Amino acid sequence: MTENVIQDKVLVVKTTLQKWIGYLKYAIMAGLVITIIVLYYHGKSLDKKNQIQAVELMAAKDSAVAYKTKAGEAYFQMKAVEIEQNATKKSLEAAGFNLKDLKQKNIGLNNLVGVLTAKIESYGAGSTAGHDTILVTKTDTVYGKKYNDWNNGNLLLYDLYADKDSLHHKYKYQTGITLFPEKDGKNTKVTATLTDTHAVITTGYSIIITPTSKWYMKPWLWGLAGLAGGIFIAK
């Protein structure tokens, strides 16, 4: 009789312990779920903040570096930063873009895949022949000088003439630009070439926009989910 009583008590204690262990497992699983949610949104916020800061820093130091090939052809390299879609608006503002102006130009921020900005400068010298002439204006007839058009293949000066006070002309400038974005280790860079051999890219950078990572693509989330699954199976 006494042995049966002891066995009953042991069974009650065992059942109670199993029940509390079950409660503890559910509590751990609930804690892991909450941890996953908190870490996901915290990580998402931190990633976004880091991306915005990277764009802001790059825009502040947007100098392009000039190089030359062995054949003497110039090329230029600019920095690039990859951001996710959810950081686009804040990143563009950090880089100095006016979002209202972009909207007025029918630029859809939600569909944007990248931004490239650069400043090109070109220097050179030249001369062209001229001859004396009589210039007829709306109000007067004056002595002046006409000049031949000047063209270096990229810059064209035409309709050149000088009156008693000023030199007048029209101009047209064009240069081809080719861009080569590429991965450089963990970073991204953009190499550019210009058809104008007198031109240089003085400043520039690129913002590459990628789709926002889904929550289920985060490796650490899979780790936590595996831990929770292990606890559930162990039950």
Q: Using CA atoms, how far apart are residues 125 and 137, in angstroms rounded to an integer?
A: 30
Which one has a higher pLDDT value, 93 or 25?
Answer: 93
The per-residue pLDDT for range 217-228, each reduced to its tens digit, is: 555 555 555 555
Give the pLDDT confidence score for residue 183 in this predicted structure.
84
Of 105, 75, 76, which Cα lies nearest the Cα of 92?
A: 105
The per-residue pLDDT for range 159-211, each reduced to its tens digit, is: 999 987 888 999 999 999 999 988 887 778 899 999 999 999 999 999 888 88
Q: Using CA atoms, how far apart are residues 45 and 54, in angstroms rounded to an integer?
A: 14
Q: CA 169, 147, 173 angle in degrees (round to 5)?
A: 40
Give the pLDDT confidence score for residue 42 in this predicted structure.
47
CA neighbours closer than 13 Å in the CB half-sphere of residue 134: 3
